[in-house]
A and B are shown apart, each in its own frame.
Chain A
Amino acid sequence: MSGQAALERLPGRSGWARPGPWLRIAALRASGIVGVLVVWAIVGQFGLVRPFLVPPLPAVVAQLGDDVVTGGFAISAASTLYRALAGFALACAIGIPVGILISRNRLVGWFVTPIVSVGFPTPTLAFLPIFMLWFGVFDLSKIVMTTFSTVFTVIAAADAGTRGVERHLVWSAESLGAKRTAVFFEVMLPAAMPQILTGLQVALPLALIVEVAAEMLMGGDGLGGRMLQAENYADSVGVYAGIIEIAVVGAIAVGGMARLRQRLLRWHVETAAR
């Protein structure tokens, strides 16, 4: 008896259809997060851990609600996002042209490559005190820090992307009559897009990581600054709420980037429907 036939023969509860496999899968997938929340609620309810270490779930939810209603979350989130995105955008504006130039110009390639290979894997956050020294402790230094930390990732991705363009694509365009600038904008750039976007998808979370760290060190009105303040006042409810708020901001940023990739790469093997 084949497996399929066996399934069809199984008796269901009288009158009820057996829950399909999709329901079981959905339940499993939700169980992780639900499980965490349940454990958290139980821990708070029965005081299994000191409330300072793990504040009760209702208190954190109340804080979150408060932040949303008073607009505190919106203001802080906007502040953090603004600086992180500004730094990220600047890194793209500088990094993509530089990365492309590296792959096309020998001299530029020779000069910039070692700088990128030092900047890329190293904790550029260590430069934070220098930027505080040069630019103060307000928006400018945070944005510069974010740009500096992400630009190397973008350069490397743009370089790899343009280098990896299949030469037969370029040759086809040339033999169809395209001139140099046309070949660059109409063929090389679109062909390099997937890899460049992958680099951007790595750089954006990095921008947020650095921005949050910078806020914790320099203060200010962003989510990071507020969270560190909460810690200083031993306000663990505030810290937990802050983590959830930053996670939401992170999810928005990452999700937005993924959606952008989907739109720009509708033609790609990964996204095109077969």
Chain B
Amino acid sequence: MIGTAIRYAPLLILAALWEAVTRLGIVPREMLPPLSTVFVAFVGMLRDGSLPANAAQSFLRGAAGLAAAIVVGFLLGAGMALRPRFHAVAGPLVQAFYPLPKTALVPLVMIWFGLGDMGKIVLIFLGCLLPVTLGTYNGIRGVDRVLVWSARSLGARPREILLEVMLPAALPQLLTGLRTATAFAFLLMVASELIIANNGLGYLIGSLGDNGAYPAMYAAIMTVIALGFFADRGFAALSAHLLRWRA
């Protein structure tokens, strides 16, 4: 407990600095509202429901896109790792897709789906697909074949080998891919909602900024950052638990 406090103390120091610098007028308040004012605006948005409502919309879309990416990405990566023919066909497509900055797909998604939910979900799906695919592919490829041979000689059947040997052995790489995908989900959620601005946390940030409600805008931004941070922390804890057998 104390260890965590000491570890994150610098953030508290920065927060104190923020408050001091703005209260003392070193930085103009229009540019950087004091932390206390931001906090008041934050509480206000909680009370009037704007923050929870938009957060829920963002979360649902992000989760849907991420979930779809996990399912499809896993199948894609596993297929490429286990079937050379499939790898020969799908590999170049994945490689071609990789360097494309996924935010470039926002206008495309707007053309296909207009301004609704589906577009943002598809965007997040496309953006999270690659990390999951690569993580699965590398994970399964990296499984030491003597593990598979041991299982075979102990009498395991192909499906059992896939689920009971390959999956746990590939788990570290898989989880790394998922962690990256989660970060991408947040990134594309914010990007799509800032650009296709009709609801969600990104929209909230943008519209508050347009209306000059800067303390509330800062509060919304901090909320998004905090959500992304805790999501990553949660994922790290989950990974540590699932991988506790590792050295």
9 A-B pairs with least C-beta separation: A250-B99, A121-B232, A28-B88, A231-B107, A122-B228, A129-B209, A254-B99, A213-B103, A123-B186
Tell me whether A216 and B106 are in contact (CB under 8 A). yes
| A208-B101 contact in complex given A126-B205, A127-B221, C-beta closer than 8 Å | yes
| A33-B101 contact in complex given A115-B11, A122-B229, A122-B232, C-beta closer than 8 Å | no
A42-81 Cβ-contact flags toward B at 8 Å (1 or 0): 0000000000110000000000000000000000000000
Most chain B beta-carbon neighbours within 10 Å: one of A121, A227, A243, A254: A121
Chain B residues within an 8 Å CB radius of A239: 107-108, 111
Is A6 an interface residue, CB under 8 A from the partner? no
Is A132 an interface residue, CB under 8 A from the partner? yes
Tell me whether B205 and A129 are in contact (CB under 8 A). yes
| A125-B187 contact in complex given A133-B31, A213-B194, A216-B106, C-beta closer than 8 Å | yes
Cα separation A207 to B53 with both chains bound (whole Å) = 31
Residue of B nearest to A232 (CB): B107
A161-175 Cβ-contact flags toward B at 8 Å (1 or 0): 000000000000000
Is B112 an interface residue, CB under 8 A from the partner? yes
Is B218 an interface residue, CB under 8 A from the partner? yes
Residue among A28, A122, A223, A247 making CB contact with B85, cutoff 8 Å: A28
A31-48 Cβ-contact flags toward B at 8 Å (1 or 0): 111001000000000000
Chain B contacts to A: CB under 8 angstroms: 6-11, 13-14, 31, 85, 88-93, 96, 98-108, 110-112, 179, 182-183, 186-187, 189-191, 194-195, 202, 205-206, 209, 214, 217-218, 221, 224-225, 228-229, 231-232
Interface of B is mostly: helix
Would you list 14 pairs from A and B whose C-beta atoms are within 8 A, ordered by A residue? Answer: A114-B11, A122-B225, A123-B224, A125-B187, A126-B202, A129-B194, A133-B209, A209-B101, A212-B101, A216-B106, A224-B104, A242-B104, A251-B99, A253-B99
Tell me whether B107 and A230 are in contact (CB under 8 A). yes
Q: A121-B232, A209-B187, A211-B101 are in contact. List 5 more A-B contacts (CB 8 A).
A: A25-B88, A123-B187, A127-B221, A205-B98, A250-B101
Cα separation A85 to B2 with both chains bound (whole Å) = 41
Which residues from 203 to 235 on chain A have a C-beta closer than 8 Å to any C-beta of chain B? 205, 208-213, 216-217, 223-224, 227-228, 230-231
Residue among B107, B112, B191 making CB contact with A125, cutoff 8 Å: B191
Is A130 an interface residue, CB under 8 A from the partner? yes
Cα separation A254 to B99 with both chains bound (whole Å) = 6
Chain A residues within an 8 Å CB radius of B10: 110-115
Is A128 an interface residue, CB under 8 A from the partner? yes
Residue of B nearest to A240 (CB): B108
A107-149 Cβ-contact flags toward B at 8 Å (1 or 0): 0001111110110111111111110111000000000000000
Chain B residues within an 8 Å CB radius of A36: 93
Chain A residues within an 8 Å CB radius of B98: 205, 254
| A228-B225 contact in complex given A114-B7, A123-B189, C-beta closer than 8 Å | no
